[in-house]
Amino acid sequence: MIAEAGLAALWLAAALSLLGLFLSVLHVRGTLEADRPVRALAIVQGAMCLFAFSMLLLVFARTDLSVALVVENSHSEKPFLYKVAGAWGNHEGSMLLWVMVLGLSGAALATFSRQLSSRTLIAALGAQAALALGFHAFLLGASNPFARLNPAAPEGRGLNPLLQDPGLAFHPPTLYLGYVGLSVAFSLAVGAMLAGDVDRRLARAMRPWVLGAWIFLTLGITAGSYWAYYELGWGGWWFWDPVENASLMPWLAATALLHSVAVLAARNALKAWTMMLAVIAFSMSMVGTFLVRSGILTSVHAFAVDPTRGAFLLLLLGIYVSAAFALFAVRAGSLREGAPFEPVSREAGIVVNNLLLTVILGIVFIGTLYPLFVEALSGEKLSVGAPYFNAVAGPLAILLGILLAVGPLLSWRREGRPILRKLALPALFAATALVIAFLAIPQASPLSKFGLALAAGLIPASLVPLIGRNPLRTPLATWGMAIAHMGAAVSVAGMAADSAFTTERLTAVKLGETVSVGPWLVAFQGISPVAGPNWTAVEAELHASRGGGVSVLRPQTRFFTSPPTETNEAAIDTFLNGQLYTVIGRSDEEGRWQLRLWWKPLVTLIWLGGGLIGFGGLLAFAGHARRSWRKRLAQ
């Protein structure tokens, strides 16, 4: 009954979105006053989606083996957390999660965005209903998560062990909240273009959605990067894998949009550009979903999926994106011109930021899709990886970093203040660091030397906008900006340090032998079998020391029986100045075990920076929320 209830709720939600779309068209055309019904429909539709997803969680929690999806992705002996996470750790479940977040954000839009004109809001809800309708069709037509299996299976096949990890259980929902949050920015842009109301009010309504989506994307990407780093056992934190790029592209677009929406809100400028970015940002979410869910790319993450689904998603993508761009082409010319500004001003700085982000986005986009085009045209198979992305996007990212120091010091409208003097000290830090980098670490790549220098200058520079202000009177949004920018600098420091200072040791050792890596001596003290809830493992015992005390690391090779798989569990020990990363490999006839060791100075700064960026976003969000709350109280 539970599965049927979930399915019924989905059909009902689809019907409600169709009705909502219909009524909103009538409202926008002025034939029918349907403000309240459309808002009510959006709220009920969101509730139905939430109900359907709860039913899916329930069948997974109970391991109902008469539901095909549970049989495919779960197992009665799996730990409870992964039974629940199994609900979205697969194609159908994750698409239902996507639809649920889409529905809930439509409901939230209907509830909270009262400051917009009725025409704009209802047109935006209509756009949101149209999006929901397409994804409902996809879910019900091509990926029903509630399909029954008759007769029921005696046991499930289990979840891919690589996905049985707390980091990965919560990583996709975080990213989806980001992806779908951008759908609201898209709907608001479409609604405002239809209603002809592109103004500061729209920007103020759009900003919390963009900011929220951007925070989730930031945290999702950071968490995903850390998961790949410790779970895959290869010691890297970014692979330029198409699936990673699928989350990076919306993030780049959202970062540009976040800045241009601020210009629109503060200065009523960059109207058409902001609308276009809102369309592009959600298009990138859809491109990402298409890349991941169609199984079209070779990737460590991509799972072979039936090609009709890919075609269906491509069709949805084509319809929404081309409709939005057509609307943009028709309406962009008639948007009233925004306020003009000086060539050196905060606005101009943000224009340059947007151009750089757009170019980087274009480079990542082309690099990610190029293999598909080549294969479609010539049948040749090829892959584009780190050499391309680092060489082409890296220098632009450094330029963007420099702008990060200058931009926040520019004032709106005109530049009157002597910013060069304020940046003198950070620039001195950066120059010193650059000289030291060239002298002390000649073996490091130029990109990592410039990265280190940039971080050395940018960390102090990000605090400059706070200097001379009363910290309690400084708006939370300003704090948020400073902290987010500092987070970017901290991440850059971690990335550059990892590539410049990492030492690696790959060797085969016998029991009792000691090897060195960086400042560490690592002794191979033991090897023993261990058992977990649904796996057995061979576990090594390593004693690592550098002068002082000893830390013990226990890397494992795990064997899962359902499905039969082996995974490597790296053992990582974190210190203030870096991480010691150990992986155990296979044994040979002579009783030697393969051992891979990395000493990675300052590598944790990468994710610490990601966390700071997210925290900065959160502060800005709280600042805006507090301000609009006060305004509401004052009214």
Partner 1 sequence: MIARPKHQRLVLVLLAAIAVLGAVLLAMWGLKDRAAYFYTPADIVAGKGSDGKAMRLGGMVERGSVRRQSDGVTTRFIVEDGEGRVPVTYRGILPDLFREGSGVVAEGKLGSDRTFVADNILAKHDERYMPPELGNQAAEHKAGQTLKR
Question: With CB under 8 A as the contact rule, which of the stretches 18-26, 511-519, 560-568, 597-605 interacts with partner 1?
Answer: 560-568
| Interface characters, 127-166, with partner 1 (x: CB under 8 A) | ---------------------------------xxx----
Q: Does 359 bind partner 1 (CB under 8 A)?
A: yes
Phi, psi of 500, rounded to the nearest 5 degrees:
-85, -35
Question: With CB under 8 A as the contact rule, which of the stretches 62-70, 104-112, 515-523, 589-597 interacts with partner 1?
Answer: 589-597
Q: Does 297 bind partner 1 (CB under 8 A)?
A: yes
* Nearest distance from C-beta of residue 352 to partner 1, angstroms: 9
Asked if residue 595 lies in contact with residue 584, where contact means CB atoms within 8 angstroms, the answer is yes
3-state secondary structure of 367: helix
* Nearest distance from C-beta of residue 558 to partner 1, angstroms: 9
Q: Does 273 bind partner 1 (CB under 8 A)?
A: yes
* Nearest distance from C-beta of residue 293 to partner 1, angstroms: 14
Q: Does 391 bind partner 1 (CB under 8 A)?
A: yes
Q: Does 576 bind partner 1 (CB under 8 A)?
A: no
Give the integer Cα–Cα distance in Å for 367 and 123: 36
DSSP string, 90-157: SHHHHHHHHHHHHHHHHHHHHHH-TTS-HHHHHHHHHHHHHHHHHHHHHHHHH--TT-B-SSPPSS--
Give the integer Cα–Cα distance in Å for 483 and 452: 19
Q: Does 264 bind partner 1 (CB under 8 A)?
A: no
3-state secondary structure of 67: strand
| Interface characters, 504-523, with partner 1 (x: CB under 8 A) | --xxx---------------
Task: Tell which one of 145, 338, 349, 401 touches partner 1 (CB under 8 A).
Answer: 338
Q: Does 342 bind partner 1 (CB under 8 A)?
A: yes
3-state secondary structure of 333: coil
Strand partners, 578: 575, 601
Q: Does 306 bind partner 1 (CB under 8 A)?
A: no
Asked if residue 387 lies in contact with residue 400, where contact means CB atoms within 8 angstroms, the answer is no
Residue placing its CB nearer to partner 1 in the complex, 442 or 590 = 590
Task: Tell which one of 27, 346, 422, 596 touches partner 1 (CB under 8 A).
Answer: 596
Question: With CB under 8 A as the contact rule, which of the stretches 47-55, 195-203, 362-370, 530-538 interacts with partner 1?
Answer: 362-370
Residue placing its CB nearer to partner 1 in the complex, 350 or 484 = 350
C-alpha distances (whole Å) from 217 to each of 88, 213, 224 are 18, 6, 10
* Nearest distance from C-beta of residue 51 to partner 1, angstroms: 30
**Helices 35-61/118-142 angle, 10° precision:** 30
Residue whose structure tokens are 């040749």: 380
**Within 13 A of 60's CA, how many CA atoms are on the CB side?**
30
Q: Does 4 bind partner 1 (CB under 8 A)?
A: no
* Nearest distance from C-beta of residue 303 to partner 1, angstroms: 6
Asked if residue 285 lies in contact with residue 250, where contact means CB atoms within 8 angstroms, the answer is yes
C-alpha distances (whole Å) from 354 to each of 252, 258, 261, 270, 404 are 9, 10, 11, 11, 12
Q: Does 382 bind partner 1 (CB under 8 A)?
A: yes
Residue whose structure tokens are 């494992």: 556
Side chain identity, residue 251: W
Question: With CB under 8 A as the contact rule, which of the stretches 21-29, 357-365, 541-549, 618-626 interacts with partner 1?
Answer: 357-365
Q: Does 340 bind partner 1 (CB under 8 A)?
A: yes
Q: Does 566 bind partner 1 (CB under 8 A)?
A: yes
C-alpha distances (whole Å) from 81 to each of 74, 490, 567, 589 are 11, 33, 19, 40
* Nearest distance from C-beta of residue 301 to partner 1, angstroms: 9
Residue 80 corresponds to which tokens in the numbers above?
């409870």
Task: Tell which one of 58, 363, 399, 622 touches partner 1 (CB under 8 A).
Answer: 363
Q: Does 287 bind partner 1 (CB under 8 A)?
A: no
Asked if residue 248 lies in contact with residue 222, where contact means CB atoms within 8 angstroms, the answer is no
Asked if residue 616 lies in contact with residue 480, where contact means CB atoms within 8 angstroms, the answer is yes
C-alpha distances (whole Å) from 126 to each of 109, 186, 191, 542 are 11, 12, 8, 60
Task: Tell which one of 355, 424, 431, 435 touches partner 1 (CB under 8 A).
Answer: 355
Give the integer Cα–Cα distance in Å for 597 and 427: 36
Q: Which residues have CB under 8 Å from 335's CB, separation 6+? A: 193, 198, 271, 272, 275
Task: Tell which one of 358, 503, 514, 525 touches partner 1 (CB under 8 A).
Answer: 358
> Which of the residues 218 through 237 are near partner 1 (CB under 8 A)?
233
Q: Does 11 bind partner 1 (CB under 8 A)?
A: no
Q: Does 381 bind partner 1 (CB under 8 A)?
A: yes
Question: With CB under 8 A as the contact rule, which of the stretches 119-127, 374-382, 447-455, 536-544 interacts with partner 1?
Answer: 374-382
* Nearest distance from C-beta of residue 68 to partner 1, angstroms: 14
Nearest to 539 by CA among 584, 505, 507: 584
Question: With CB under 8 A as the contact rule, which of the stretches 101-109, 204-212, 335-343, 439-447 interacts with partner 1?
Answer: 335-343
Question: With CB under 8 A as the contact rule, which of the stretches 110-118, 219-227, 351-359, 440-448 interacts with partner 1?
Answer: 351-359
Question: With CB under 8 A as the contact rule, which of the stretches 16-24, 187-195, 291-299, 527-535 interacts with partner 1?
Answer: 291-299
Task: Tell which one of 36, 417, 469, 586 touches partner 1 (CB under 8 A).
Answer: 586
* Nearest distance from C-beta of residue 514 to partner 1, angstroms: 16
Give the integer Cα–Cα distance in Å for 480 and 613: 8
**Residues binding partner 1 (CB under 8 A):** 160-162, 233, 270, 273, 295-298, 300, 302-304, 337-343, 351, 355, 358-363, 366-367, 370-371, 374, 380-385, 387-388, 391-392, 506-508, 557, 563-568, 583, 585-586, 588, 590, 592, 594, 596
